[in-house]
Structure 1
Amino acid sequence: MQHRPEIDGLRAVAVVPVILFHAGVAWFSGGYVGVDVFFVISGYLITTIIATAQDKGAFTILGFYERRARRIMPVLFTVILCCLPFAWAWMLPAQMTSFAESIIAVCLFVSNVLFWQESGYFAAAAEKQPLLHTWSLAVEEQYYVVFPLLLMGLHRYGARVRFATVLLAALVSFALAVYGAVAFPNAAFYLPHTRAWELLAGSLCALLLLKRPQPGNNVLSLIGIVAVLAGMFLYDEGTPFPSAWTVAPVGGTALIILFAGPGTLVHRCLSLRLLTGIGLISYSLYLWHQPLFAFARIRSLTEPTPLVMTILTIAAVLLAILSWRFVETPFRTGRITLLASGPRILGATAAVAAILMAIGAVGRLDEGLAFRLPPEALAALDVQAHPDPAMATCLFDKGEATLPHPVRACMTPDIDKSDTIMIGDSHAGAITGEALRAFTAAGLDLYALSHSSCAGFSGLVVSNAKYRLRCNSFFKGVEDYIAANDIRTIIMVSRWSLYLDGTAFDNGEGGIEALKPTYADLYARRDDMGGETDPARKDRVLAAFLADIRAYLDHGYNVVLVYPIPEAGWNVPDLLARAAMTGTDVEPLGTSADRYRARNAAVIAAFDTLEHPRLVKIRPDAIFCDSFVAARCVNSLSTDRIFYFDDDHLSDAGAALLMQPIIDAVRHLTASTTTAP
């Protein structure tokens, strides 16, 4: 086919924003649409090659796959092999297991399916997946399995039937994408049936231009490049993709392919030597950038600095030039005599893939080759892997309004009922096991119940779709139980500020919690919730907290109110394990006390207004902050004193620090009140 330099330039326009997006450059919030541009280009080029060869009677399926193998596999295998020593040296066991599985999936061209099942493309964990970007290669390869066979079957029916069939397939795929953006967004992002229309858009361009001179139209080609760039700068992680929004970059790319003929402004710009040079190495550049960024994030205890990401971007360009020159070009042109024939290159591809899959299988052994890690790292990860089992028993998540109270496993031993109950969300669930042990040792009774993502009261709804309406039903049942039994003291433990702000905690030092926005509103407004940043909603929720606490006090109950527990932001055991692997001393580990106070200022100020003789307030910040280390909220003191099992939940060691003040408060309130309400 005739070489089109503007297509090379368009590849550069596609790959650079993808890299800058993955590097965290805020301006390119929609840089991921570069992949969609690649899909259209691939569809155009592959269809042109196949259709032209068919018209000449020269197309063979073996020859097609030989060319694909020469183009795709050598650099891909090279990149995977180069990842192996860094994975061995730096990856935690869970990361190694995931990486090993991804090697197998890449070799089988199903990595898109694997990453669909593991996590979303924009999830924090995805940034540490060295082979995440191969999902798009898998989509293309799956397309290459079906599409050549389709064209072979349609060839005998003529150009019109061929075009109409491809158009119909594109429309069906687009309709599935639009539906999937709402019904199954993660699957729609990764799977081929909702991505095929983008490749088919390029195929349609190829069929339109087949045996025709390319027209030049300044207006249409300019509209095309503007549409592509607009998506890169205006879209972000919240834009549904693929969806109707994807029409802009896909349609824009199609307009460039169709109308950026010689002499047009877009053709001249895209044909600039710098852009065409980047376009030539774009495949290698795409393959190298994600492993470099992922391993930098794995190796660093916090998010790499912009300077580091800039250096890695330059390194990706240099590696791309080298692999294009010494790997891509020799294999693609058949210069390597030993692999000059089609059967040989296909056989060699299968052999190397089998070796890599065997390596991947080994990487899944022994829980991700855990023997590589020093004892300190294993000790830290053990805290993460084994939160107190009472949390699994007494932290509910299905809104069980008809829960058969009391749940005996959530009570101190040898009692039928307790006059003290602890309620709240997962922050209460995390300390349940230690609370039951401490109350038993102190000769006190306790019943502990909690529900994920619920503040501890009925009358509230949360934005999290899973728990949206469950909080009201679960805590209505708990409140009915409290009212019908001789409960005297209520301990309240919740992540109060989360329900006001709805945002993940950022400790300001590179630790940003992996959490989707989860905020609360009144149950009566479940069909008209205020937004995450709506100040009126925050005021409503905070007022509801205070009203419910006062209602318990006014009805004669004792209340032990636990203020917000400090959040860590980073996964504490994970960070400590990585520090041990790299020989970095981070103990004692902590975060800014000022950051804690800023995060929880509204809740603290509101709770400070509450005064009542049956109310005792517990300040976790007085225990964790400005105590072990000045101006810091401590996360751990050593690998045998780790206070969190993730980025915000207390471990047993952390819960133990809270127990004595809580027990003292219960004893005080029990002694000062003689009758149940």
Structure 2
Amino acid sequence: MRILRTDIQILRAIAVLSVLVFHFDLPGLQKGFLGVDIFFVISGYLMSRVIIDEMDAGRFSPAAFYFRRARRLLPAAMAMFAVVTAVVPFALTMGALHDYVQQLLGALAFGANLVLWAQSGYFDGQATLKPLLHTWSLALEEQYYFVLPLALALIGRRWRAAGLVGLLVASLLACQWWLRRDPSGAFYLLPTRAWELLLGSVCALPGLSARLPHREGRSSIGFDSGWLWLPIMAWCLLRGVDSVHPRTDALLVCLSTAGLILQPSAMLQSTRPWMRPLQWIGDVSYSLYLVHWPLIALAKNIWLQKVPDTVLWALLGLSFVLAQLSYQHVEQRYRNLPTPRALLRQMVWLLVPLLLAMGALALHMHMHNHSQAGGVAQGQQPVYGFDARCDQEGDFEPLPACMNTPRPHTMVWGDSYAMHLIPALQASPPDGGVIQATRSACGPSLDMARQSPQDPPDRGQRCIQFNRSVLAYLRQHPEIDVVVLSGRWQYYLDDPVVDARGRFIHPGQHEIAASFARVVQQLKAMHKRVVLVSPPVLLGPDVDLGLCGQRAAQGLLTVMRTLQTHCAFERSLWETRQAKVNAMLTDAGQLADIDMIALDAFNCDDRHCVTVMDGVPLYRDFGHFSQDGARLLGLRMKLGQKLRASAR
């Protein structure tokens, strides 16, 4: 059974256009990503309406239901997978191709959201560069379709309303609980996003939803509900009220969608000519959602994120063209196939190109793994130091995996900018061995810490507690006579910062330097010698030096105004962009009376800085060294000996 409601087609158009405006960086909608939440409610309603009606009529067949879902969703997705898989070898680095393979296999197994969740994290590459990033929402819907018939059957007709509402509330509460502990998991996983689909399912309950034909009139409550719900939806899409997702804005936009489903709006059913384009967009919305994101992601790989406006507008137009082709020649061709056997016969025309593209991709990756560029995939791997366990979450623990001798004499203390010094010290070991005390996004301060909106609310306080536990450990181990401090000081200047009580503060350059000096004073009181290591030369998060270097090593097309041939850039550009940090580090060194090892001596001369040296990409992202780059740093600067000689 196919439900046709003009107002729902318009809602689909609003949803997909919101997503497109957001993804194409067009002005207007700060929260256009909420279009996906609109889709979730619509999908939950339509699928539940079909299942409930058929169950109540005694003719529901799980096999027939899943066949209809496969006939509707798989062909256009398979066509998109085939085309994108054929193109990615010419656009992605080897590390990104390894991630792409996992995403593709996850999407084919209806688990793309799980793969993307596993790939997310502090050290993960830019999500916006992943061509199949958008399949997370499709996978989540498909997982819901798998469990929904079983859930409705187990609940039974008598307890259907109470059961669905109970599941909705449980999922909503789980989402808010999980947001505080794992924002990425709360975003990607079905248990924490099911409440949006369940809201649509509740709307489909008999007696609650409006069982109205196509072209409904005004609602029974006496006024057009569009005047109530559409402004709420528009406000959420335009500005919103919350910086955390999915939370208040998602709830409001989902409730407004549900309200428009339950009380159909005459505003969304107009037959005026200017509404026809929206109806067409609603018709092609699935294909449009499928094809638009790979175009953006591939362009962002080539232009290193900042794609020119003219290119974005051209890609936007191309998205509509491809969507129409997909809708007309793929969706419509498969939509009315009568049997699974007929579907399988026709799917051969999509499976063969996809398998050929996957085979070509596998061959391409195999060949590059045995060439000079094959090492680039390793160059994109996270650099945790000795071991991934050295990115500690609780209080500091002297793990054997995080030291290279039982009684080390040197400690490296800081955040991820301290972690990437460890491969350099493995290549150029200091006398007496090294122990690593590190935590991501946690600089070595005892009274201030970064607290971004995406972090759990107590992350900053736990960072300060970690640093205090490091200090306590050092107090008990006099054999550690040299402490190396390193961090990304920029986030103290740019990001929200909290003190030890969790209160937000706004430290200035001198206050940050003074905080650092207090750490050094306590270390010197323990008779430790201290040395500061600067961050690497970088231009900021908007210029991915690692991606540029890796693309250059593979010979991939790269367009970036800021960077020169082979991803070099003028030293003055770095000095201008990092002037505040460099001044703060100079101030900190003077207050603490210690020396600083400036890493610009590694890859910069008086005029230029390089990101590729001896064919080795030095960076793994916008600022962290790659494994090979860090090793080269250690050898070129003789870092191990230099650290101990410079400590005082």
TM-score of the superposed pair, with normalisation by structure 1: 0.77
Greater C-alpha radius of gyration:
1
Match in the other structure for 1:397: 392
The answer to whether the 8 Å contact 1:562/1:619 transfers is: yes
In 1: Cα distance, 2:465 partner to 2:525 partner: 27
The answer to whether the 8 Å contact 2:79/2:350 transfers is: no
Alignment partner of 2:611: what SS? strand
In the alignment, which of 250, 254, 264 is matched to residue 246 of structure 1?
Answer: 250
The answer to whether the 8 Å contact 1:399/1:473 transfers is: no
Q: Deviations over 1:189-232 (max 9, x none)?
A: 23333333322332333332455675525453222112222221
Q: Deviations over 1:460-518 (max 9, x none)?
A: 6564737452121113322443xx4594xx46441252452265xxxxxxxxxxxxx7x
Amino acid at match of 1:578: R
In 2: Cα distance, 1:634 partner to 1:187 partner: 37
The answer to whether the 8 Å contact 1:394/1:432 transfers is: no
Matches within 5 A, 1:498-509: 498=490, 500-501=492-493, 503=495
Larger deviation, residues 170-179 vs 128-137: 170-179
In the alignment, which of 528, 547, 551 is matched to residue 578 of structure 1?
Answer: 551
Asked if 1:528 is matched to 2:506, the reply is: no
Structure 1 position 410, deviation (Å): 5.2
Matches within 5 A, 1:487-506: 487=481, 490=482, 492-495=484-487, 497-498=489-490, 500-501=492-493, 503=495
Match in the other structure for 1:675: none
Structure 1 position 451, deviation (Å): 2.4
Structure 1 position 369, deviation (Å): 1.9
Structure 1 position 345, deviation (Å): 3.7
Asked if 1:431 is matched to 2:436, the reply is: no
Alignment partner of 2:244: what SS? coil
Structure 1 position 287, deviation (Å): 0.7
Aligned CA distance change for structure 1 residues 134 and 422 (closer, same or farther; 3 Å)? closer
Matches within 5 A, 1:351-430: 369-372=365-368, 375-385=371-381, 391-392=386-387, 397=392, 403=398, 409=404, 424-430=414-420
Amino acid at match of 2:318: A
In 1: Cα distance, 2:425 partner to 2:366 partner: 32
Amino acid at match of 2:466: R
Asked if 1:542 is matched to 2:534, the reply is: no
Aligned CA distance change for structure 1 residues 266 and 639 (closer, same or farther; 3 Å)? same
Structure 1 position 126, deviation (Å): 2.3
Alignment partner of 2:612: what SS? strand
In 2: Cα distance, 1:486 partner to 1:140 partner: 54
In 2: Cα distance, 1:2 partner to 1:664 partner: 72
Match in the other structure for 1:451: 438
Asked if 1:45 is matched to 2:46, the reply is: yes
Matches within 5 A, 1:452-491: 452-453=439-440, 454-456=442-444, 463=451, 465=459, 467-481=463-477, 484-485=478-479, 487=481, 490=482
Structure 1 position 376, deviation (Å): 4.7
Alignment partner of 1:469: what SS? helix
In 1: Cα distance, 2:124 partner to 2:646 partner: 46
Match in the other structure for 2:137: 136
Aligned CA distance change for structure 1 residues 232 and 203 (closer, same or farther; 3 Å)? same
Q: Deviations over 1:127-180 (max 9, x none)?
A: 22222222222222233233345556778x5xx754444444433433333433
The answer to whether the 8 Å contact 1:397/1:467 transfers is: no
Match in the other structure for 2:194: 196
Match in the other structure for 2:180: 182
The answer to whether the 8 Å contact 1:102/1:114 transfers is: yes
In 2: Cα distance, 1:236 partner to 1:638 partner: 50
Amino acid at match of 2:311: V
Match in the other structure for 1:70: 71
In 2: Cα distance, 1:431 partner to 1:373 partner: 26
Match in the other structure for 2:4: 3
Amino acid at match of 1:582: L
Aligned CA distance change for structure 1 residues 541 and 53 (closer, same or farther; 3 Å)? same
Aligned CA distance change for structure 1 residues 259 and 552 (closer, same or farther; 3 Å)? closer
Amino acid at match of 1:31: G
In 2: Cα distance, 1:480 partner to 1:392 partner: 24
In the alignment, which of 144, 157, 173 is matched to residue 171 of structure 2?
Answer: 173
Amino acid at match of 1:290: W
Amino acid at match of 1:597: Q
**Count of matched residue positions in the alignment of Structure 1 and Structure 2:** 617
In 2: Cα distance, 1:122 partner to 1:233 partner: 31
Match in the other structure for 1:512: none
In 2: Cα distance, 1:421 partner to 1:664 partner: 14
Alignment partner of 1:131: what SS? coil
In 2: Cα distance, 1:421 partner to 1:624 partner: 25
Alignment partner of 2:578: what SS? helix
In 1: Cα distance, 2:81 partner to 2:275 partner: 32
In 1: Cα distance, 2:349 partner to 2:374 partner: 33
In 1: Cα distance, 2:123 partner to 2:224 partner: 35
Match in the other structure for 1:91: 92
Match in the other structure for 2:338: 341
In 2: Cα distance, 1:205 partner to 1:297 partner: 39
In 1: Cα distance, 2:73 partner to 2:54 partner: 20
Q: Deviations over 1:538-570 (max 9, x none)?
A: 654421222344566688776544444423545
Structure 1 position 319, deviation (Å): 0.4
Unaligned 5+ residue runs, structure 2?
A: 559-563
Amino acid at match of 2:551: R
In 2: Cα distance, 1:345 partner to 1:178 partner: 45
Structure 1 position 393, deviation (Å): 9.8
Asked if 1:34 is matched to 2:21, the reply is: no
Match in the other structure for 2:300: 297
Structure 1 position 360, deviation (Å): 9.2
Alignment partner of 2:13: what SS? helix
Amino acid at match of 1:397: Q
Kindly report the root-mean-square deviation, in angstroms, between the aligned alpha carbons of the 2 structures: 4.3
In 1: Cα distance, 2:224 partner to 2:367 partner: 62
Matches within 5 A, 1:594-633: 594-607=575-588, 609-610=590-591, 615-621=594-600, 624-627=603-606, 630=607, 632-633=608-609
Aligned CA distance change for structure 1 residues 379 and 645 (closer, same or farther; 3 Å)? same
Asked if 1:231 is matched to 2:236, the reply is: yes
Q: Deviations over 1:290-326 (max 9, x none)?
A: 1111222233344322322221111111101111122
Match in the other structure for 2:561: none
TM-score of the superposed pair, with normalisation by structure 2: 0.80
In 2: Cα distance, 1:53 partner to 1:402 partner: 58
Matches within 5 A, 1:99-138: 99-119=100-120, 125-138=126-139
Q: Deviations over 1:562-618 (max 9, x none)?
A: 444423545545422323332668326236223443241441451364496xx5444
Alignment partner of 2:131: what SS? coil
In 1: Cα distance, 2:400 partner to 2:330 partner: 67
In 1: Cα distance, 2:380 partner to 2:605 partner: 25
Structure 1 position 26, deviation (Å): 5.8
Amino acid at match of 1:371: M
In the alignment, which of 566, 571, 594 is matched to residue 587 of structure 1?
Answer: 566
